Chain A
């Protein structure tokens, strides 16, 4: 069979990279699409590993009702009936949808249409609320519409790129690589990173501003006042007010004090910003996820408006989104705070007219955090969750858990059989996964790309749009007789253009009549997309508008046609630290995991980069609170506790902790950081303050530490002897990091129980040092390793996992090497690659360090040449650079 290549789009972050998926003899491989304008052929480590994630392990393949397999008819009838009954009895606001930036625009569109136009409530909110709703609100206040004015090219043109609250190197690696490449080309270009943490991104910056958490408004107000002092003026409305408010920050010394930095650093940044016309300020979750998120966004935009740095090549404020289709969701109106197609609730009649729907929501609905509070109170009695895992991702996640447990009816559409959320559904609807989905997504630079199916739908799975339309029809609604995503897209495009006489920038008029064939072959294109007729009507006949940059003409979709500065007053986080909760808990992503790991955990090479949930602690805090690097700690807030591995690093700000957001009950005993995060939200956007929860840290006093490698998954949650576990999927094995508060009396029996080896005749080798608290065992079968267990009193006393993991090949272990299994290392230490650094080529730390040492390599490029490490996605380059530096220092 010959190879079939399908052009599609990456399902991870909001960069929106084009991917060529190749299917040959049932084997899938992926590569970056060189023709896609957003990535020009590059992919990051996660994108590169996409082929690892398309397997059917753990997939939900059949509908289920109350834990039993059911037919689609029964499952969909149940959803339609229960929603119908509850709406009939309690009204439309007693039901809700909680959807996702993972949905395609077409899925989103029909879900939004069903809730707002047919059920008649605006209780549809999305997980995008948790990551960029502050940007939405900030854009609306400044521009009148939720519009990102720039494009990625601006990052390359700019002479100064300022990254605020964004670990771009890890979270949007392809964009970061574009910035780095442009700066390598022209050393005069500068990169400034504003982040309390010294992240991988900050490592590569010309200037890092490690500001105190939550002081972004302080800093940008200070900057605004400075710019005004330097002579920047604007006749925009509210400019004077904004500047006047900003002047309250005082001089640079006062700003620096407020932000917890030294004045020289702040001064250097201000001077650079003031002097550099072509400046792009990129902001992300570090700005948005705050109780002052919207004000932070406007504080940044203010600086660009005052200096007129917007709508120009290389100059704009730039929100980068976290999810593949957060933007598409915003465009259809999937947030409860907008209606549809960038039309607010004041345009309800217009939308109802377009839909010809029986009803229309006229008021904003519940935002994510409020929604789950309402579910807990019993006000919302039925919820349908699509393609998201709120029991992990919401703040105060244990309350969300209680809410779902108490909820009368929970339907979940998902592609996975088990997630923390799926496990609490009454009805489970098997949805298509990335490789099977067809539709469109919009990325952070307004590029609409096709996501195309390249694998058949497995089992009974169906597309989300198809499931939603079927339920709508079963509820007795017209308007859902779509036979394809193309048909839905045409209607969506038509709505954006409907009665749009230039009041809304979002206009897909030129796509409203797209044929099915044209839809199938649609190349990536940036909105707005005006039809020839529309342009002619607007008097722009011969000129095809350049949609790369918006607002170049200074005209905004506001009532007065102008952009608005917003006077913003600095304020601290909603909940301040205290004696009892003295540390600021920050959450975020790691390089090689995505959200709640349902997809990335399928890839062994991704899981290997950072195998365990961790907390980053500043050395002085580590000493103060008695936690040691590599040991376990209990991080707690008033809401919950997590047990994670300690990383002591000066890159972490003193007084702050960082815990990644990804781990959940499927992968760890107790590491859902969402359960710890306070549900304080921005009063304007409703976005939760994930970046600042008052917290405490203490040692997790484990009596023993260990790990298990096993060829099949184990159920350690049921083992009373294990108090801490983390599951790390590997290539042909599963790795479990474990620890316990009490030492079992009989290690052999305990270890056999963990692995499920009862029979005494099993091929079992063990090494025990009971008094020393050490136990090691391996279970062999027909000469190959089935499982091994290592236990020691201290984490540092355990051998490296990578060599042992490399033995899980299914091939027999040589007789004279059996003893080496329990030694945990090859007799020849040269064979040990060490922990993985480069996910793309599977290159370990020891291998790189040896090459640097032995071959005298002095640059990342030289390492790349020698070992390939860092030559694909480049995400590990900062780590390779650090290794070179470390070796040089020795």
Chain B
């Protein structure tokens, strides 16, 4: 006796054809396939693909086709109207209508914002020169691949996860790459200095160059408006030559559309624990969202949010999003880096460290009250998932704290923690 069968279908519009939006849709369709007439707008001219796999595509380890997640037939099969290469430019909340850049107007009963994020571009002189590329979508990857075909020098600004993956990809494609990083250590938001040092050493071994603690003053170009190099904001205003400059200094939640529609935004579109914006008909998920003051740039929180959001769109109404514990893995072949949680030293935390200098293995487990709050693994990340699980579940590790660094394989067979592995 399904009540929904007798109810008229509602209209659900999804703005954003990225991973967060599509994953939410999947869950909704699973739970209530007949509930909605669905319309999806995607600004990019593709069906959905796995954005986190862009790095392997850049590095030449994967082809674009391999990272496509949902082809057009998937949308057709589910009766979803898909408009790609078509951006929504306005939301008329009073009329419950969205308006696209082609002038298309679609009404909604529920609206899902999954607009993602925009790469941050340093507003230095020259940032608009040809050859200054961000690393956000498949278009950026194509631009970089094209540039690399001529060889030459690349400068990547930003020694974070994305910057290193871009640098590594360009290096694999034959460019001479220098990473320019404002901080003294790489991936400072994910790695402690010891792991960062190992990472830098290992990347240097592979042929990447570094300018650490370096602030960019300007991007230099020729008369034709093409990039030629970079000038640093240092005592002697040193310069470095470049055929392309990749900006990978961070992302900004894409909030313009929401703001224009009068939805409350801070860094991102502010949502509650049921992923609703200040307009209860309008939901939001993914990198565009700010939840309990946190903005996420990783995939795992997106999955968590999608699940909760879908639950409410399906009118089940009993699930809550309490924020995500995040884990990061660097996708550079042969370099295993894993980071999760909060690894910085604090008075209330205690760190366990392991290092094997010759094998290039380093681990740091940060505890608070005998519970894991942060993990950094370098060189051997096999047990990352196990630590992550212990951390997320808040397991008291005091019984096996002395063996924690060695992973589940070294715990007594009968221990609860080993069984958790």
Footprint of B on A, CB under 8 Å?
A: 761, 763-772, 774, 780, 792, 797, 815, 818-820, 822-823, 825, 827, 829
Q: Do the beta carbons of B406 and A823 come within 8 Å of each other? A: yes
CB neighbours (8 Å) of B356 from chain A are 765, 818-819
Q: Do the beta carbons of B353 and A825 come within 8 Å of each other? A: no
A sample of 28 cross-chain residue pairs with beta-carbon separation below 8 angstroms, ordered by A number, consists of A764-B357, A765-B354, A765-B355, A765-B356, A765-B361, A766-B353, A766-B354, A767-B352, A767-B354, A768-B352, A768-B353, A769-B352, A769-B401, A769-B405, A770-B351, A771-B351, A772-B350, A772-B402, A774-B402, A792-B402, A797-B402, A815-B359, A819-B361, A819-B380, A819-B410, A822-B405, A822-B406, A829-B412
Chain B 350-376 interface 0/1 with A at a Cβ cutoff of 8 Å (1 = within): 111111111101000000000000000
> Complex formed: what's the CA distance from A815 to B356 in Å?
11
Q: Do the beta carbons of A780 and B410 come within 8 Å of each other? A: no
A820 touches which one: B351, B358, B359, B410 (CB < 8 A)? B410
Q: Do the beta carbons of B401 and A772 come within 8 Å of each other? A: yes
Q: Is the interface of A mostly helix, strand, loop or mixed?
A: mixed
A827 touches which one: B352, B353, B357, B409 (CB < 8 A)? B409
CB neighbours (8 Å) of A815 from chain B are 359
CB neighbours (8 Å) of A768 from chain B are 352-354
Chain B 329-366 interface 0/1 with A at a Cβ cutoff of 8 Å (1 = within): 00000000000000000000011111111110100000
> Complex formed: what's the CA distance from A771 to B402 in Å?
12
CB neighbours (8 Å) of A818 from chain B are 356, 359
> Complex formed: what's the CA distance from A823 to B405 in Å?
8
B236 within 8 Å of A (CB atoms): no
> Complex formed: what's the CA distance from A763 to B405 in Å?
19
> Complex formed: what's the CA distance from A335 to B355 in Å?
62
Given contacts A769-B401, A818-B356, 15 further A-B contacts (CB under 8 A): A763-B358, A765-B354, A765-B355, A765-B356, A767-B352, A767-B405, A771-B351, A772-B350, A772-B352, A774-B401, A820-B406, A822-B354, A823-B410, A827-B409, A829-B412
Q: Do the beta carbons of A769 and B402 come within 8 Å of each other? A: yes
- Within the complex, what minimum Cβ distance (angstroms) separates A788 from chain B? 13
CB neighbours (8 Å) of A765 from chain B are 354-359, 361
> Complex formed: what's the CA distance from A822 to B407 in Å?
12
B403 touches which one: A761, A771, A823 (CB < 8 A)? A823
B413 within 8 Å of A (CB atoms): yes
A829 touches which one: B352, B358, B380, B413 (CB < 8 A)? B413
CB neighbours (8 Å) of A761 from chain B are 357
> Complex formed: what's the CA distance from A818 to B363 in Å?
14
Q: Do the beta carbons of B410 and A827 come within 8 Å of each other? A: yes
- Within the complex, what minimum Cβ distance (angstroms) separates A360 from chain B? 70
Chain B residue nearest in CB terms to A818 = B356
> Complex formed: what's the CA distance from A227 to B351 in Å?
73
Footprint of A on B, CB under 8 Å?
A: 350-359, 361, 380, 401-403, 405-407, 409-410, 412-413
> Complex formed: what's the CA distance from A768 to B361 in Å?
14
- Within the complex, what minimum Cβ distance (angstroms) separates B195 from chain A? 14
- Within the complex, what minimum Cβ distance (angstroms) separates B175 from chain A? 32
> Complex formed: what's the CA distance from A765 to B354 in Å?
7
CB neighbours (8 Å) of A825 from chain B are 410
Q: Do the beta carbons of A766 and B355 come within 8 Å of each other? A: yes
- Within the complex, what minimum Cβ distance (angstroms) separates B370 from chain A? 9
Q: Known contacts A820-B410, A829-B413; is A771 also within 8 Å of B350 by CB? A: yes
CB neighbours (8 Å) of A767 from chain B are 352-354, 405-406
- Within the complex, what minimum Cβ distance (angstroms) separates A354 from chain B? 72
- Within the complex, what minimum Cβ distance (angstroms) separates A743 from chain B? 15
CB neighbours (8 Å) of A774 from chain B are 401-402
> Complex formed: what's the CA distance from A827 to B401 in Å?
17
Chain B residue nearest in CB terms to A790 = B402
- Within the complex, what minimum Cβ distance (angstroms) separates A800 from chain B? 12
Q: Known contacts A769-B350, A769-B352, A772-B350; is A763 also within 8 Å of B402 by CB? A: no
> Complex formed: what's the CA distance from A768 to B352 in Å?
6
Chain A residue nearest in CB terms to B398 = A772
Chain A residue nearest in CB terms to B405 = A767
Q: Which of B405, B412, B413 has the most CB of A within 10 A?
A: B405
> Complex formed: what's the CA distance from A764 to B360 in Å?
11
> Complex formed: what's the CA distance from A825 to B407 in Å?
12
> Complex formed: what's the CA distance from A642 to B345 in Å?
42
CB neighbours (8 Å) of B361 from chain A are 765, 819
Top 10 nearest A-B pairs (CB, nearest first) are A771-B350, A823-B406, A823-B410, A765-B356, A767-B354, A827-B409, A769-B352, A763-B358, A767-B405, A768-B353
CB neighbours (8 Å) of B350 from chain A are 769-772
CB neighbours (8 Å) of A764 from chain B are 357
Q: Do the beta carbons of A819 and B406 come within 8 Å of each other? A: yes
Chain A residue nearest in CB terms to B404 = A769
Chain B residue nearest in CB terms to A820 = B410
CB neighbours (8 Å) of B412 from chain A are 829
Chain A residue nearest in CB terms to B401 = A772
Chain A residue nearest in CB terms to B363 = A767
> Complex formed: what's the CA distance from A830 to B355 in Å?
27
> Complex formed: what's the CA distance from A827 to B351 in Å?
24
CB neighbours (8 Å) of A822 from chain B are 354, 405-406
CB neighbours (8 Å) of A792 from chain B are 402
> Complex formed: what's the CA distance from A766 to B363 in Å?
10
- Within the complex, what minimum Cβ distance (angstroms) separates B388 from chain A? 19
> Complex formed: what's the CA distance from A820 to B350 in Å?
23
- Within the complex, what minimum Cβ distance (angstroms) separates A761 from chain B? 8
CB neighbours (8 Å) of B405 from chain A are 767, 769, 822
Chain B residue nearest in CB terms to A783 = B358
CB neighbours (8 Å) of A769 from chain B are 350-352, 401-402, 405
- Within the complex, what minimum Cβ distance (angstroms) separates B137 from chain A? 39
- Within the complex, what minimum Cβ distance (angstroms) separates B269 from chain A? 40
- Within the complex, what minimum Cβ distance (angstroms) separates A825 from chain B? 6
Q: Do the beta carbons of B357 and A763 come within 8 Å of each other? A: yes
CB neighbours (8 Å) of B403 from chain A are 823
CB neighbours (8 Å) of B359 from chain A are 765, 815, 818
- Within the complex, what minimum Cβ distance (angstroms) separates A824 from chain B? 8
- Within the complex, what minimum Cβ distance (angstroms) separates B379 from chain A? 11
> Complex formed: what's the CA distance from A767 to B351 in Å?
11
> Complex formed: what's the CA distance from A829 to B412 in Å?
8
Q: Do the beta carbons of A780 and B358 come within 8 Å of each other? A: yes
CB neighbours (8 Å) of A766 from chain B are 353-355
- Within the complex, what minimum Cβ distance (angstroms) separates A796 from chain B? 10
Chain B residue nearest in CB terms to A798 = B402
> Complex formed: what's the CA distance from A641 to B9 in Å?
89
> Complex formed: what's the CA distance from A197 to B189 in Å?
64
CB neighbours (8 Å) of B406 from chain A are 767, 819-820, 822-823
> Complex formed: what's the CA distance from A825 to B413 in Å?
13
- Within the complex, what minimum Cβ distance (angstroms) separates A789 from chain B? 14
Chain A residue nearest in CB terms to B403 = A823
CB neighbours (8 Å) of A823 from chain B are 403, 406, 410
Chain A residue nearest in CB terms to B358 = A763
CB neighbours (8 Å) of B355 from chain A are 765-766
- Within the complex, what minimum Cβ distance (angstroms) separates A780 from chain B? 7
Chain B residue nearest in CB terms to A819 = B406
- Within the complex, what minimum Cβ distance (angstroms) separates A427 from chain B? 50
> Complex formed: what's the CA distance from A476 to B383 in Å?
81
CB neighbours (8 Å) of A780 from chain B are 358
> Complex formed: what's the CA distance from A641 to B354 in Å?
39
- Within the complex, what minimum Cβ distance (angstroms) separates A791 from chain B? 11
CB neighbours (8 Å) of B402 from chain A are 769, 772, 774, 792, 797
Q: Which of B353, B354, B402, B403 has the most CB of A within 10 A?
A: B402
> Complex formed: what's the CA distance from A819 to B402 in Å?
13
Chain B residue nearest in CB terms to A766 = B355
CB neighbours (8 Å) of B358 from chain A are 763, 765, 780
CB neighbours (8 Å) of A820 from chain B are 406, 410
Chain A residue nearest in CB terms to B349 = A771
Q: Which of A769, A770, A822, A823 has the most CB of B within 10 A?
A: A769
- Within the complex, what minimum Cβ distance (angstroms) separates A742 from chain B? 20
> Complex formed: what's the CA distance from A768 to B406 in Å?
12
> Complex formed: what's the CA distance from A763 to B361 in Å?
12
